[in-house]
Amino acid sequence: HIWIDVFTIIALGFALIVGVWGGKRFWCGLRSSEADPHASRQPFGKSLALTVVDIFTHRYFKLCKVNKSRTHAHAGILYGFLLLLAATTGAFVYSTILGWELSRAPYDPIKVLGNLGGGLLLLGLTWVSWRRLANRDEVGRSNYFDWYFVGILYMATITGFALEIIR
């Protein structure tokens, strides 16, 4: 397991560096494209907090009049991912920091988070797929990459549940 943990830490470090670098380039690009560079702005912390609230409440998804029900499907996918991230982080803490075995009871908080996250992800993916198949005119045309991404997420979710069952 140590090699998996070492690889994960290296990969996360690389992702963090690339994310910060990309964020800085994005921020500089926004600054250079401003119409009025001297316009008053909100402080960074307040802007970040407002952005996080917008993301978690799906405020702009709710404003969409054409495809309003995608709000719930997208929220299921987002919150499913976040709960799975929390469960994965908890499993890392259990196994690496605390040295506990990962075969836990079904009512263990980390397992509950993982199952809830997987269920939300599966529900959101199913809702997205159903809407794309049932309402092609309303939703718009799907291409190969849309279905490929949804298929990859389905496979990851289903194999995650299968591994939990056989473990």
Q: What is the pLDDT of residue 139?
A: 63
Amino acid in position 79: Y
Identify which of 72-76, 82-86, 102-106, 142-146 has the greatest average pLDDT: 82-86
- Least Cα distance to 120 among 79, 154, 167 occurs for 79
pTM of the model: 0.70
Alpha carbon distance 148, 154 (integer Å): 10
- Least Cα distance to 62 among 72, 53, 50 occurs for 72
Three-state DSSP class for residue 90: helix
CA distances from 148 to 63, 69, 72, 144, 154 (A): 28, 22, 21, 6, 10
Q: What mean pLDDT do residues 118-128 have?
A: 94
SS3 content of the chain, % helix, strand, coil (to 5): 80, 0, 20
Q: C-alpha angle 149/61/58, rounded to 5°?
A: 90
**Joined tokens for residue 78:** 């987002």
Confidence of residue 107 (pLDDT cuts 50, 70, 90): confident
Q: What is the pLDDT of residue 138?
A: 66
Q: What mean pLDDT do residues 46-63 have?
A: 83
**Joined tokens for residue 83:** 């709960």
Give the burial class of 123: count Cβ atoms within 10 A of its Cβ; 0-12 exposed, 13-18 middle, 19 or more buried. middle
Count of other CB atoms within 10 angstroms of residue 102:
13
Q: What mean pLDDT do residues 112-127 have?
A: 94
Q: Is 102 or 165 the better-scoring residue by pLDDT?
A: 165
Under 8 Å between Cβ of 132 and 142:
yes
